A and B are shown apart, each in its own frame.
Chain A
């Protein structure tokens, strides 16, 4: 009897990876909104300054402007949370996550399916914005739902190849989001040099850290808030689970678990690119990063992660990103038959 498990179908690898990625994306968006709602109470700014950066972080500024114009709180929350025409809204992400989960329901545990399905049903039933007093709670619940999914995944599913593909998707997404929020906020904050060191600045940097659930952990490590320490923490920390370096290290670990190649060596293009990025993050310092320009650095980082993404697809015969559009026509599959539960009992 052969007990060696079969390698994963490429289609399944692709779907579990995206499923995890969409859940992570939903969680991040929910957190950004929550932090901004808080920030607004502390720092009432013009809406364009307050809410536009969230749209910038999601990379949808042009589309948003064309559809809605000025970024008001209501419009931004509707767009980022509930708008099904926005493929990156929380509602869309949870829908896609569920679609992917449904297509690999035999691979994941029943508990994982039940959790992603109940999050989907929950947001589906939300027809309008929550009442103001419910707003923060609503986004906290989404965040906790996503955390629950991650926990259920770790606790109920064998940490096999499929699990590693999920971790890969989750961590690539997380690294991407951390680097984006840092990029956008840094860009916004630094020009106002006169504010550096003021309480105003402090509140903003606190918000950045809270955007990645990093405020408390940052405090423990650095105490006072300075821009360069924030960058060090969010990009180069090896222990904080949302730091880019931590995410990249996790991706590398999972990748090597999948391929069986020892860490430090490579057989696949993705392993090579991964190793190079990892070495760079391991051996760079925050002073160098800032001296050479944080924006340029993060830009290159994003480029490298995209390259890794593409090479993963090629190495494991997964689908290119544009076919993950969830718009396959249903007709052919439906007509394929089966007598189903159909027939007259007469």
Chain B
């Protein structure tokens, strides 16, 4: 397969430098791909897709009857991260998660950061996912964000930024693991000589993290379960996958019952105590007695058992306060405040529309900015300025003026690209990267992550429901040159 007509299109390409020469870390992989016979890569790709369907590695498509399942598109060309860059990412993420955890703990206790004037109280209280029900709760070891999936992007300037933190119920880690399995199965020859760091420890690390946060006083091996909304949830595959890999029961709300501030599961031999719940249900649906009374997915009394320290929840309810996009803009301040350091990985420049000067700037520059609703995800409530019409910008300006607290704006990023198999040849497509950070006794980042790719030409949207797919992420264990 020839790579001669590959065009970086003026974007930062993860495999080719500005002059179009292979980056050193991609050299070997590109040579291997270049040496493939015509059609061989496509055949591997088709084999991979067949495996996905055969194994039922799918997500559920909403709004479709009877829970239609589709495989999450997978592209065979991996994204490579050098050892040096990964070390930097790892340090940056550990620093960031440590600070965010301190922030959440502070917000539900003394609120020192507010008293010291770093973050306005109003911003905290108006955050959609701030949960006053969590005030005064002391999760084991003071850890709130046990599992985080931060989204990283590289801009045209070559710099990696944190785009958002995802501290509530981040998903996608099963694709990180499955993508690697798929690569090993369909394309084993490319691993030769590259020393790709393995990701397969993730389920063990996750289980260790969950066991580490067992309620105090539990002396036996804690009983850990994974709580799923059920098989019709879009991420059900991941729930069952992780439960299987960890060897823990996958439970639904109806399998659990709370008595005497203790959580039990209904088994064939009666009730059995549960110590730790890795819940994959949003806060609002966890416990109808505390949050949404109409939720049938959760467990009545669960939060009272949690508050009493009789069961641990991962992630802790209330984390969402830090997922607010206005709060995001304060993370560098949090890092300075709690860690006494500057942020290692920078934030994307963010304009807060409730600030008079920022708002004026945003309203005058809508055609170059990306405007986002502070509490939405999934690409909803968003305006991508350069791709918008005048009418859309006008409508968005009205929304911003009506509710400035709810909007932030950022420069439109030229996300970096990775060669991707399109038809019978490679074309550049935009990517982001979501590493997974675990926090139990210590903070750990598995070397890898989910690289999502916008498969549509020119698209910056990596969302699976909008033509996004994923790639394997190869973190190398040594700099090229000292292969051995």
By a beta-carbon cutoff of 8 Å, the part of chain A in contact with chain B is 1-2, 6-13, 99, 102-107, 110, 113-114, 117-118, 121, 161, 165, 258, 316-317, 328, 330, 332-334, 336-346
* With known contacts A8-B268, A10-B266, A345–B462 Cβ distance under 8 A: yes
Q: In the complex, A10 Cα to B271 Cα: how many Å?
A: 10
Q: B169 touches which one: A110, A338, A345 (CB < 8 A)? A: A338
> Is the CB of B252 closer than 8 A to any CB of chain A?
yes
In chain B, residues 43-88, which have Cβ atoms closer than 8 Å to a Cβ of chain A? 53-56, 59-60, 62, 66-67, 72
Contact status A339-B232, CB under 8 Å? no
Chain B: CB-nearest residue to A1: B221
Please tell me which stretch of B25-33, B114-122, B139-147, B277-285 contacts chain A, meaning at least 4 of its Cβ atoms lie within 8 angstroms of it.
Answer: B277-285
> Is the CB of B206 closer than 8 A to any CB of chain A?
no
Chain A: CB-nearest residue to B450: A341
In chain B, residues 260-284, which have Cβ atoms closer than 8 Å to a Cβ of chain A? 265-270, 272, 280-282, 284
Q: In the complex, A161 Cα to B170 Cα: how many Å?
A: 33
Chain A: CB-nearest residue to B413: A346
> Is the CB of B134 closer than 8 A to any CB of chain A?
no
Contact status B171-A339, CB under 8 Å? yes
Would you give the 0/1 interface string for B139-171, flagging 1 where the beta carbon is closer than 8 Å to chain A?
Answer: 000000000000101000000000110101111
Please tell me which stretch of B16-24, B243-251, B299-307 contacts chain A, meaning at least 4 of its Cβ atoms lie within 8 angstroms of it.
Answer: B243-251
Contacts of A117 in B (CB 8 A): 54-56
Contact status A339-B244, CB under 8 Å? no
User: Separation in Å of the B172 CB from the closest CB of chain A?
Assistant: 5
Interface size range on B against A:
35 or more
Contacts of A333 in B (CB 8 A): 229-233, 297
Contacts of B60 in A (CB 8 A): 330, 334
Contact status B460-A334, CB under 8 Å? no
Q: In the complex, A105 Cα to B415 Cα: how many Å?
A: 37
> Is the CB of B370 closer than 8 A to any CB of chain A?
yes
Contact status A161-B282, CB under 8 Å? no
Chain B: CB-nearest residue to A326: B66
Contact status B249-A106, CB under 8 Å? yes
Chain B: CB-nearest residue to A339: B377
Contact status A345-B415, CB under 8 Å? yes
User: Separation in Å of the B239 CB from the closest CB of chain A?
Assistant: 8
User: Separation in Å of the A123 CB from the closest CB of chain B?
Assistant: 14
Query: Can you name 18 extra interface pairs (CB under 8 A) apart from A345-B153, A346-B415?
Result: A8-B267, A9-B268, A102-B236, A106-B249, A121-B53, A334-B234, A336-B285, A336-B295, A337-B284, A337-B285, A340-B171, A341-B464, A342-B464, A343-B378, A343-B462, A345-B151, A345-B461, A346-B382
User: Separation in Å of the A335 CB from the closest CB of chain B?
Assistant: 8
Q: B171 touches which one: A113, A161, A341 (CB < 8 A)? A: A341
Contact status B249-A334, CB under 8 Å? no
Contact status A346-B461, CB under 8 Å? yes
Chain B: CB-nearest residue to A8: B268
Contacts of B252 in A (CB 8 A): 11
Contact status B267-A6, CB under 8 Å? yes
Contacts of B284 in A (CB 8 A): 337
* With known contacts A2-B220, A8-B268, A106–B250 Cβ distance under 8 A: yes
Contacts of A346 in B (CB 8 A): 370, 382, 384, 412-413, 415, 460-461
Q: B172 touches which one: A12, A330, A332, A341 (CB < 8 A)? A: A341
